[in-house]
Structure 1
Amino acid sequence: MSSQVSIIMATYNRAHFIVETLQSIQNQTFSDFECLIIDDGGTDNTQDVIAPILAHDHRFTYHKRPSQYHKGLPGCRNFGIDLAKGKYLIFFDDDDIVHPQNLECCVAELNQPEVAFCRYQRAAFEGDFDYQFDYSKTYTKFAVYSKDVEKMLTYKLPFNSCAVMWRKSCFEQNRFVETLMFAEEWELYSRILASGVQGVSINKTLFFGRKHYNSNTGEFSRRNEMRIVSKKDAVLLIVENLNKKNMLTPTLMRFFVQMALGYKKYNLFSEILSKLDLSFGRQMYWRILYTFLPFRLSLIRLRKKLTS
């Protein structure tokens, strides 16, 4: 029989973390789920350390990523989507801790027919996790609409990859871009939101991300070339998609133009303009803004410093 929720967990050489993560999933107050563990070709003893869980809890299954899916997180997740039997999908990482009420709270919201996704709060931790959970079922919430894609992309309403449960139907026409090695969920989730779905955001922390040196985010912060190029490529895909849908607002365009300042080495600004069918006048407007933006930002920082 199909489970109501499909949890998709990509893993790669995380034998030292994954058991604690799987145990936090076993402790869910909502039990009607399957957990698909997708190994990306790891070389450690992950399969051995999770063997007892696989043997005694048949909701958990282990799969190796087939060669037709690209190596990396997006390919593993796409494989998981294709395997999933559940009505709802959620992506968990192999080194984090899941709140016991995560699935219960999300499914309760998704049982409303107009809700296509449930976003929730995520917290970060380092070292040993403090298992003192807030079990309150009282929280505030608000609706999220397609127009909120601007807030999502500018991080005013961040959509962390592991902090949203989706209806599986959201992925009928959408998949992760498998060539992206960073910001792949930022690109995909913006595409889904821009398609016109409606969801809900609840103000309850239901996921705890482990901060450590070897995470993708950590590598991006250290200016890993592969992660930086992937973020640049994600920006171009987003710009192209929003432009086709007439959703590339002046605010978003300014946001991406400012972001391009940090990607001069990769000619991001020029590539953004190449994706748009702009008049000569509009092109000149954005070129002038891009040229003088560093001076303007410097003046803003100076003004803040003087008035603080």
Structure 2
Amino acid sequence: MGYLVSVIIPVYNSEKYIEDTIKSILNQTYDDIEIITIDDGSSDESAKVIKELISIYKGKKTIKYYYQENSGVSIARNSGIEKATGKYIAFMDSDDLWKDTKIEAQMKMIEKTSMKACYCGFLDFFQEDNLTKKRKMKLLSGRILYDFLKDDVICWTGTWVMEKSLVDKNNIRFTENCNWGEDLEFFFKIAAITEVCCVGEYLALYRIRPNSLTTSSSFLKRSEDIHVLINLDKWMKQNADKLIYKNIDKISNLIYQFRIPFSLINYTYAYINTSSNEDIHKNFNSVYEKLYTNHMKNLSLINGLKSLKLYVKLYLMRFRLYKYRPRKNLE
């Protein structure tokens, strides 16, 4: 008999996928799992699908269903944390999948290393073609925060298992009313307060649906996660006594000199490369503000080649944007 793992799933209009998602948890080779679904005001048949599964597996598996008025994924996840009764918690989106051995492999690694949090590799799962693809990432253990901030380690939400006490004792929750980056902020904080072990296998599948691919307009919105990063820097300084890192300035420098420009540049670059000339012209002021914000002045070579690539992208975009300028020339 192992420790109970509470798997928290925020659900919003996921009737087509939630059954497969839940079954990938039910099929885990690790038995001591409770599934907590938080229905964030779905208007489809998600609730019906979940309740049918609860009925089918009653007495065999623990599946819990809770409903809330539409409040966003962060509030749903936070509600799941409050309702979780396991010593460990894990998170899963309502359309993603796990390989059968994921939780068992991670719990064994936690036991082996005595670390309180664990992540694993993941695959992009292209639903339309039924293909999977590995992302280029390092699978490191121990003090991973610097590598995490540098985007060398990619710890997606569905890859984690951690002691619930970590988030409770340190009052770590997902930032509410935040559309982008709330998951990164949460897991950056986890990596700042504890060493993290890693299962060097790709045991989670991030589903990419044809109709859910990021649209060009949403790339501009995604750059709003810089506010999350600014808040993260403040949190690090306010909670310095809780961190396993003593050089707070190094963390702050990585946030401001790399991670914030990284977000602004990459999302704006994606927007420009997926948008029509007409759309770019229409959103000229918004794009201009992102490419000439004071945050760009902080960009440095702190992250070597990755930082250099950001400089290249930045100047390519500024050059391209020049032809879309209004009558007034760019400064």
What is the TM-score with the length of structure 2 in the denominator?
0.71
Compute the displacement of 1:222 (Å): 2.6
Residue 176 (structure 1) aligns with = 174
Q: Is the contact made by 1:153 and 1:186 (CA closer than 8 Å) also made in structure 2?
A: no
Aligned to 2:195: 198
Partner Cα distance (2:292, 2:192) in 1:
22
Map 1:262-281 to 2 at 5 A. 262=268, 265=289, 269-270=293-294
CA distance in 1, matches of 2:90, 2:126: 23
Query: Percent of aligned positions with the same letter in both sequences?
Result: 21
| 1:55 alignment counterpart | 55
1:233 equivalent in alignment to 2:227:
yes
How many residues were matched structurally? 270
Partner SS for 2:197: strand
1:209 aligns with 2:179: no
The 3 A distance-change label for structure 1 pair 223 and 300 is: closer
The structure-2 alpha-carbon separation of the partners of 1:236 and 1:21, relative to structure 1 and needing over 3 Å to count, comes to same
Q: CA deviation at 1:169?
A: 1.1
| Contact 1:29 1:104 survives alignment (8 Å) | yes
* 1:99 maps onto 2:99 in alignment: yes
1:108 aligns with 108
Find the aligned partners of 1:129 and 1:169 in 2 and give their Cα distance.
40
Moved over 6 A (4+): 128-132, 298-301
Counterpart of 1:255 in structure 2: which amino acid?
A: F
Unaligned runs of 5+ residues in structure 1 are 133-139, 274-284, 302-308
The 1:124–1:141 alpha-carbon spacing in structure 2 relative to 1, beyond 3 Å, is closer
Q: 1:102 to 1:268 in 2, by over 3 A?
A: farther
SS state at 2:10 partner? strand
Amino acid at match of 1:205: Y
Cα-Cα RMSD: 3.5
1:232–1:141 distance in 2 versus 1, CA, 3 Å:
closer
Q: Partner of 1:159 in structure 2?
A: 155
SS for the counterpart of 2:157 is coil
1:259-293 Cα shifts (integer Å, max 9, x gaps): 345475369954x69xxxxxxxxxxx84999xxx9
User: Which piece of structure 1 moves more, 165-174 or 75-84?
Assistant: 165-174
1:163 is matched by which residue type in structure 2? T
In the aligned structure 1, how far is the partner of 2:87 from the partner of 2:160? 14
**Partners of 2:260 and 2:139 in 1: how far apart?**
32
**Contact 1:34–1:60, Cα closer than 8 Å, also in 2:** yes
Q: Distance in 1 between matches of 2:310 and 2:113?
A: 50
Local SS of the residue matching 2:141: strand
Q: 1:287 to 1:14 in 2, by over 3 A?
A: closer
1:141-191 CA distances to partner (integer Å, 9 max, x unpaired)? 75221xx31211221001101111111111112111112111111011111
Letter of the structure 1 residue corresponding to residue 53 of structure 2: I
What is the CA distance between 1:118 and its match in structure 2? Answer: 0.9
Conserved 8 A contact 2:149-2:259? no
- 1:92–1:162 contact (8 Å) kept in structure 2: yes
How many Å separate the matches in 2 of 1:181 and 1:298? 25
Following TM superposition, by how much is the alpha carbon of 1:297 offset from its aligned partner in structure 2, in angstroms? 2.5
Change over 3 Å in CA distance of 1:268–1:194 after alignment to 2: farther
User: 2:16 is matched with which residue?
Assistant: 16
Q: Structure 2: how far apart are the matches of 1:4 and 1:79? A: 18
Structure 1 residue matching 2:158: 3-state secondary structure: coil
One-letter amino acid of the counterpart of residue 43, structure 2: T
User: Quick check: 1:152–1:190 contact (8 Å CA) kept in 2?
Assistant: yes
Distance across 1 between alignment mates of 2:155 and 2:65? 27
Q: Who is 2:320 aligned against?
A: none
